């Protein structure tokens, strides 16, 4: 068995990784790397689950790690990569309400606010472990940062990634604070996969002619005139 202090330290490092990936998802304009960063974020979550498993030994955590790995590291990124290949969009440069710099600044402020709010909430209760408290703060922050992505990006595909990142936040929160029943976790993941498949169908179309296909791409902000040529 690995020593607890080392595991805790590893988890903290992983937390930092999650923050970095989240910040990258918010700020990057390169669409291809967003997907890989999402996969990386999910992988970090898998690692956190495994580390927690080594601390607590709960079998559910192991199961979560496995399911997350299969779905979020392999299947969902694979689907999205397929879409991207088909629609040939490389960059996402249109924003609503917030541009990346502002988003980053706001997310920093958000983390601070959530930290302070949660600190006040748990004040009276018997002091929780520092690690779990951080996990909760990070979970909520990740969720809100994902939400920021969903409303500040114009492209449907990035919105979906933002949503997926939100779900990662919920998973993180669940792992550290509430102990979601495994079945619910599993169902959420199935939902996510269905969502991604639906996105694929909607944005690419399974029954459309070429003209219709382009029209749909325009409708979902998946394609621009200039990019169509290249």
Partner 1 sequence: MIVELFVLAIIILFAGTIFPLIAASLDRRSVRTISLSCTIVASILLGSLSLMVLLSGESVFFSLYQSLPAFSLSFVIDRLASFFLLIIAVVSACVALYFTEYIEHIDGQSRRNLLCSCTSLFILAMVLVVASANTLSFFLFWELMAASSFFLVMYEYSQYDTRKAGIFYFIMTQLSSLFVLLGIIVLYVMTGSFSFLPLTTASAPLVTVAFLALFVGFSIKAGIIPFHKWLPYAHPASPSPISALMSGVMLKIAVYGLVRFLLDVFTPDLWWGVLILAAGTASAVLGIIYALKEHDVKGMLAYSSIENIGIIFTGIGLSVIFTASNLPLLATLSLLGALFHSLNHAMFKSLLFLTAGSVVSATHTRNIEYMGGLAPRMPVTSALFFVGAVSIAALPPLNGFASEFLIFISFFSSVSVVDPLFKVLLFFCLALFALTSALSAACFVKAFGSIFLALPRSPESAAAHEVPRAMLIGPGILAATCILLGVCALQIFAIVGLTVPLPDMLLVSLLLLGMAVLTYAMLYFIASREVRVSETWGCGTFSQQASAEYSGHGFSEPLDIIFSAIYRTRTINERTFFDQKNCIFKGGTGEIRLLKVFEEYLYRPIAQQSLSVAKVVSRFQNGCLDTYLLYVFVTVIALIIFLGWFA
Binding footprint of partner 1 on the chain (CB under 8 A): 96-97, 110, 113-114, 116-118, 120-121, 140, 144, 147-148, 150-152, 154, 159
Bridge partner list, 95? 153
Q: How far is the CB of 80 from partner 1 (least distance, A)?
A: 19
Query: Minimum distance from CB of 160 to partner 1 (Å)?
Result: 12
Find, among 45, 81, 37, the residue nearest to 61 by Cα.
Answer: 45
Q: Which is nearer to partner 1, 115 or 132 (CB)?
A: 115
Closer to partner 1 by Cβ: residue 158 or 200 = 158
Residue pair 160/166 in contact (Cβ under 8 Å)? The answer is no
Longest Cα separation, the chain: 63
How far apart CA 2 and CA 87 sit, in angstroms, is 46
How many Cβ atoms are within 10 Å of 156's Cβ, its own excluded? 17
Q: Which is nearer to partner 1, 10 or 147 (CB)?
A: 147
Token reading at 13: 């490092």
Task: Give the nearer residue to partner 1 in terms of CB position, either 55 or 122.
Answer: 122
Q: Closest separation between CB of residue 127 and partner 1, Å?
A: 17
Shortest CB 159 distance to partner 1, Å: 8
Q: Shortest Cβ distance from residue 63 to partner 1 (Å)?
A: 29
**What is the C-alpha separation between 199 and 137, in angstroms, rounded?**
30
Measured from the CB atom, the residue of 72 and 221 that comes closer to partner 1 is 221
DSSP 101-169: HHHHHHHHHHHHHHHHHHHHHHSSSPPPPHHHHHHHHHHHHHHHHHHHHHHHB-SHHHHHHHHHHHHHH
8 Å CB contact between 103 and 152: yes
The residue (of 120 and 225) whose beta carbon lies closer to partner 1 is: 120
**Whose CA is closest to 164, among 71, 50, 30, 64?**
71
Question: Which residue, 77 or 135, has its beta carbon nearer to partner 1?
Answer: 135
């Amino acid at each position: 068995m690995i020593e607890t202090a080392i595991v805790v330290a590893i988890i903290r490092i992983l937390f930092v990784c999650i923050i970095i990936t989240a910040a990258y998802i918010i700020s990057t304009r390169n669409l291809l790397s967003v997907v890989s960063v999402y996969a990386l974020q999910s992988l970090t979550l898998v690692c956190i689950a495994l580390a927690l498993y080594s601390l607590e030994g709960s079998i559910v955590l192991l199961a979560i790690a496995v399911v997350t790995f299969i779905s979020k590291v392999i299947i969902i990124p694979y689907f999205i990569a397929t879409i991207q290949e088909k629609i040939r969009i490389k960059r996402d440069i249109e924003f609503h309400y917030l541009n990346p710099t502002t988003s980053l600044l706001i997310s920093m402020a958000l983390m601070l606010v959530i930290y302070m709010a949660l600190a006040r909430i748990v004040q009276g209760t018997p002091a929780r472990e520092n690690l779990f408290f951080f996990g909760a703060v990070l979970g909520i922050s990740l969720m809100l940062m994902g939400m920021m992505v969903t409303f500040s990006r114009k492209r449907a595909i990035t919105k979906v990634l933002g949503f997926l990142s939100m779900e990662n936040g919920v998973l993180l929160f669940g792992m550290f604070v509430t102990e979601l029943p495994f079945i619910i976790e599993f169902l959420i993941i199935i939902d996510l996969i269905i969502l991604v498949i639906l996105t694929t169908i909607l944005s690419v179309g399974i029954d459309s002619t070429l003209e219709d296909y382009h029209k749909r791409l325009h409708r979902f902000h998946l394609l621009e005139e200039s990019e169509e040529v290249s």
